[in-house]
Structures are given as structure tokens and as C-alpha cells.
Amino acid sequence: MMTLRRSSLAIPFLIMVWPAVSQAQLAGHNTRGDYGLMSGTQAPVGVYGVGMFYDYSADTLRDKDGDSLPAVSSGGSINARAAVAGLVWTTEMTLFGGNYGFAIFPAVTNNAVELPALQTDTETSTGLADLYIQPLILGWTTARADFMAGLGIYAPTGRYEADADDNRGLGMWSYEAFAGTTVYLDEARSWHLAATTFFETHGEKEDSDIRVGDIVTIEGGVGKSFMDGAASAGIAFYAQWKVSNDDFGASLPGGPRVGKHEVYGIGPEVTLPLASKSKLYGFANLRYFWETGAKSTLEGETLLVTLTFPIPSIPLQ
């Protein structure tokens, strides 16, 4: 039976400039938590349709020391939602000994910001977000481990205007390299531990000299598979660090505005098959994260629901 491969999407979410504290933090494209259990495993050879619903909510913004800032903690909230319809194709072609695959993930999104302390209440209309493409995905399988590596590109297809408060995109190209592994802890390959690392770098924002700093994200999980690999349950995690400062194109008064951000998330994950007696139609995956340890960024909770459908469906008899 196949194991579910996670899909990435672009959430065009810019953490705002807070006038009350004169601090800013620019967001990258990588969506924390969109990979989880078996993150280092490529989908088996075939074509897959993917649908994902993403819901992020936060009522805490933390400074470079991890202390809560009053603009959000005083009854404020920030929400980002997105829906994705993607296509993943793992081919029989090989490169460097690994199966070659590619993927494309268009998305729609809307965001809402409510900050009573700053008399701010903004919501974007639903529309096209930035497009995520993986032109290169390579996967290798051994008896006790899987390996995966590839490249991703985020294209600025979502609406963006500098200084606007209703953007659905980030107004920049982003480029991502990733590599990961799933290690099986028993001969039956039922217990597994996985981690995948993403390195994200960015071009300049549209009509400006602003460039977001480089970002490193690690996503994975530990869990157990059931039903010949068609179902699984466990604990997923992520960690994200900005490893270089945002470049605003000029020296800022008083030096850098905020320390490089970091945040961590952990929570349950479960995958269940969608099947009849004669066919396996797909998989439903549910993942929920609580964030902790945030610095210079938001701290909140994330819900991801992913549906994956092999094309065509897999006969079971």
C-alpha cells in the first residue's frame, strides 16, 4: 500500500508592522507544518490529486526576547486560511538512482487581522495566492530508510502592493532546496522517524529594494503505520529559524528592528484510507500544531486537512 506524501503550499502571510512598538518582521513562503510523518518519503510511482485546507490563527506576537507584545495580546487576533488543489506525479524515470517526480500547487487564500489596541480590523477577499512548483523531486528507498531531495519555486501570482493591508501574495520570487529521510525503526517498517530540512532564499519584493532573510525549516514526525501502510498515527513537529536579517535596502534608524525569528510547533497527526471493498480511493490526513518558543514572530495554532487521491484509484482485489 502507498504511504501519503505531504504537499507544500504558499500562504502569502506578511507579519505586520506594529506602529505601537516600531518593530517589523517579514515572512517567507514556507508553510510551517505542511510536512509531517514520513516527510522524507516520496510518493510511489503514479499521479496524485491533492487537496488541502490550511487554517492558522494567532493571538500572540512575541518580540526578540520571546515576550508578548501588547498590540496582539490585548484582545487582538490574526487568521490566515488557504485552500489548495495540487497535482503530484512520481515517474518511473530515474536520476542519480532516484525516481524523478514533480508537483504544482495553486492556492486561494484570505487573511484577517483584528487589533483593537491599534483600531485595526482588516480582512482580504478570497483570491489567488502565490503559486508553488516543485520541478524536481527525487526519491530513494532502502530496506530501513527512505530519502528524498528536491527544489521548489514560489511564483508571485497573488495580489501584492507595497504597504497594502489586503495582499494575498508576498510580491517576490522564492527558491527552496530540501532534503530529508524517513528511518524505519523495525523490520516491518511500521515504526518510523522522519525529518526534512528546507532552505529558502528570496528575491527582492516588487517595486522595492526589500529582501526577506534566508529561512531554514525542519518538519517531520514520529509514528506508526497500520493496515499495510494505509493508515498511520503519531506526533508531528516543525522548527523554523530565519538565518539572515531582512534587508530593507537602507540602514534603519537605531539599527535592526527585530532579531531573526524562530518558532516551534508540535501536535498529533493521523492518516486514514478512503476505500471500499474493491478500491482504494485515497487518504485523509489531519494534523494540528501548537506553537511555542516563538521570537520575533507570531505564536498560534495550525490546522491542516489534506486529501490525496491516486489517479486512477487503486484496485484492492
- pLDDT at position 13 is 40
Least confident of 88-102, 116-130, 268-282: 116-130
Question: If pLDDT is split at 50, 70 and 90, which confidence band does 249 have?
Answer: confident
| 73 backbone dihedrals φ, ψ, rounded to 5° | -70, -20
- pLDDT at position 177 is 98
- pLDDT at position 91 is 97
184 vs 127, more confident: 184
- pLDDT at position 287 is 97
Q: What is the rounded distance in angstroms from the CA atom of residue 186 to the CA atom of residue 231?
A: 17
Instruction: Give me the amino acid identity at 244.
Output: S
Element (H, E) at 123: strand 120-123
17 vs 106, more confident: 106
42 vs 256, more confident: 42
- pLDDT at position 281 is 95
For 228, the 3-state DSSP assignment is helix
Check if the beta carbon of residue 139 is closer than 8 Å to that of residue 90.
yes
Residue with cell 500547487: 105
Q: Is 245 exposed, middle or buried (0-12, 13-18, 19+ CB in 10 A)?
A: middle
Residue with cell 510518493: 43
State the alpha helices, DSSP H only, in the chain: 70-73
pLDDT at position 3 over 50: no
* Summary mean pLDDT of the chain: 84
Residues 6+ apart with CB under 8 A from 262: 239, 240, 241, 242, 293, 294, 295, 296, 297
Residues 6+ apart with CB under 8 A from 143: none
Check if the beta carbon of residue 195 is closer than 8 Å to that of residue 149.
no
DSSP state of 9: -
Please state, in angstroms and as integers, the Cα–Cα distance from residue 250 to each residue in 204, 209, 247, 255, following that order.
13, 8, 8, 10
DSSP state of 16: P
Pairing of strands 262-275, 279-295: antiparallel
Residue with cell 483600531: 119
- pLDDT at position 317 is 73
pLDDT at position 125 over 70: no
- pLDDT at position 168 is 81
pLDDT at position 2 over 50: no
Q: Beta-carbon neighbour count of residue 261 at 10 Å?
A: 23
pLDDT at position 209 over 90: no
Least confident of 101-105, 113-117, 198-202, 308-312: 113-117
- pLDDT at position 258 is 55
Q: How many CA atoms lie within 13 A of 316 on its CB side?
A: 15
- pLDDT at position 25 is 66
Among 168, 101, 165, smallest CA distance to 131 is for 168
Q: Which triple of cell numbers denotes residue 183?
A: 528511518
Q: Which residues pair with 315 in a beta bridge?
A: 279
8 vs 248, more confident: 248
4-33 pLDDT, tens digit per residue, is 333 334 344 434 334 333 344 688 899 899
241 vs 20, more confident: 241
Most confident of the following: 72-86, 233-247, 248-262: 233-247
- pLDDT at position 252 is 53
Please state, in angstroms and as integers, the Cα–Cα distance from residue 80 to each residue in 48, 77, 85, 144, 157, following that order.
26, 10, 17, 38, 17
- pLDDT at position 90 is 97
32-67 pLDDT, tens digit per residue, is 999 999 999 999 999 999 999 999 988 888 888 888
Q: Which triple of cell numbers denotes residue 239?
A: 522548527
Torsion of CA 159, 129, 205, 149, to 10 degrees: -160
172-205 pLDDT, tens digit per residue, is 999 999 999 999 999 999 999 999 999 999 999 9
- pLDDT at position 53 is 92
- pLDDT at position 117 is 43
Q: How many CA atoms lie within 13 A of 118 on its CB side?
A: 20
